[in-house]
């Protein structure tokens, strides 16, 4: 989807779902799950659960309906600046597509402009655009980097994501503190080790350990 596209608007259209989320169908499916696990869907505490779950999916998976064109609108500027821009410790909340359980953590994003910069507040929004979907952390990391690469055509982009995965903490191997770290390095961050090191040293400085 993102990989083969160099046109920001085509890319944006590919990422955007026009149709509203079908909350009624989600509600019905949640009722079925409740019955299937042996619950009584008529029990007082559960009466509104299907609707609550549907609404929480609406929020947790809102990335499909964030319009990337609106996000970019009037936020890209021509500026003569060619030093590294870093936004670190961006919290994100995502859902693993294999188990539909949350994974959360933080993302660090850097780029070195060629002649365009993006409004600072837009970088966390780009992280939201890709995190509030059913995801795997590896793809999310690459998508954030490639999106910025297509939109700004910078000298390079770097993204490092640290995530804690509920599906790993609660089930299967049950590792409470295993952080997953993924990175995507493009352009000068890939080709020049000094640039990469400058970024990695910056995000390591004063970093707290990640916890739920
Ligand atoms: Zn999972």
Q: Are 139 and 145 within 8 A, CB to CB?
A: no
* 80 and 54 share one domain: no
Among 188, 197, 196, 194, residue whose Cα is nearest residue 82: 188
* 191 and 90 share one domain: yes
Please report how many Cα atoms fall inside a 13 Å half-sphere around the Cα of residue 196, on the Cβ side.
12
| CB-CB neighbours of 18 under 10 Å | 8
Rg (CA), the chain: 19
What's residue 99's pLDDT?
94
- CA 127 to centroid of ligand 1, rounded, Å: 19
Q: Is 185 among the domain residues?
A: yes
Domain that holds residue 52: 22-60
| CB-CB neighbours of 146 under 10 Å | 21
CATH at 38: 1.10.286.10
- CA 96 to centroid of ligand 1, rounded, Å: 5
* 51 and 81 share one domain: no
Q: Which residues pair with 194 in a beta bridge?
A: none
Residue with tokens 């600046």: 81
Q: Is 199 among the domain residues?
A: yes
How far is Cα 10 from Cα 90, in angstroms, rounded to an integer? 26
What's residue 1's pLDDT?
44
| Ligand 1 (single-atom ion) residues, CB below 5 Å | 96, 98-99, 167
* 44 and 101 share one domain: no
* 52 and 83 share one domain: no
Task: Give, for 86, the enclosing helix (H) or strand (E).
Answer: strand 85-96
What's residue 185's pLDDT?
98
Q: Are 21 and 76 within 8 A, CB to CB?
A: no
- CA 136 to centroid of ligand 1, rounded, Å: 8
* 116 and 39 share one domain: no
Q: Is 210 among the domain residues?
A: no
Residue ending a domain, choose from 6, 35, 60: 60
* 118 and 185 share one domain: yes
What's residue 145's pLDDT?
96
* 49 and 94 share one domain: no
* 29 and 97 share one domain: no
* 50 and 82 share one domain: no
Q: Is 67 among the domain residues?
A: no
Question: Model-level pTM?
Answer: 0.91
What's residue 70's pLDDT?
83
Q: Are 112 and 79 within 8 A, CB to CB?
A: no
| CB-CB neighbours of 158 under 10 Å | 27
How far is Cα 158 from Cα 185, in angstroms, rounded to an integer? 5
How far is Cα 65 from Cα 93, in angstroms, rounded to an integer? 16
What's residue 13's pLDDT?
74
What's residue 212's pLDDT?
66
What's residue 6's pLDDT?
65
Q: Which residues pair with 161 in a beta bridge?
A: 107, 182
Tally of domains in the chain: 2
CATH at 102: 3.30.1130.10
Rounded mean pLDDT for each run of 10 residues along the chain, 212 residues in total: 59 83 97 98 97 97 92 88 95 96 97 95 96 97 95 96 92 77 98 97 86 69
Q: Are 110 and 189 within 8 A, CB to CB?
A: yes
Active site (catalytic) residues: 96-99, 137, 165, 167
- CA 97 to centroid of ligand 1, rounded, Å: 6
* 189 and 104 share one domain: yes
* 117 and 163 share one domain: yes
Task: Give, for 106, the enclosing helix (H) or strand (E).
Answer: strand 102-112
């Amino acid at each position: 989807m993102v990989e083969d596209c160099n046109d920001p608007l085509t890319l944006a259209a590919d990422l955007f779902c026009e149709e509203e989320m079908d909350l009624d169908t989600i509600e019905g499916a949640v009722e079925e799950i409740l019955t299937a696990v042996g619950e009584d869907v008529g029990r007082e505490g559960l009466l509104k659960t299907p609707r609550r779950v549907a609404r929480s999916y609406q929020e947790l998976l809102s990335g499909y309906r964030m319009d990337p064109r609106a996000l970019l609108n009037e936020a890209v500027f021509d500026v003569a600046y060619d030093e590294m821009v870093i936004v670190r410790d961006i919290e994100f909340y995502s859902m693993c597509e294999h188990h539909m359980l949350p994974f959360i953590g933080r993302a660090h994003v850097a780029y070195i402009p060629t002649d365009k910069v993006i409004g600072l507040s837009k970088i966390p929004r780009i992280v939201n655009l890709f995190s509030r979907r059913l995801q795997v952390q590896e793809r999310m990391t690459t998508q954030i980097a490639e999106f910025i690469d297509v939109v700004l055509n910078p000298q390079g982009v770097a993204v490092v994501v640290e995530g804690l995965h509920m599906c790993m903490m609660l089930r299967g191997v049950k590792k409470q503190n295993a952080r997953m770290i993924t990175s995507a390095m493009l352009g000068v961050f890939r080709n020049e080790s000094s640039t990469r090191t400058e970024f990695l040293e910056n995000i390591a400085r004063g970093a707290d350990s990640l916890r739920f």
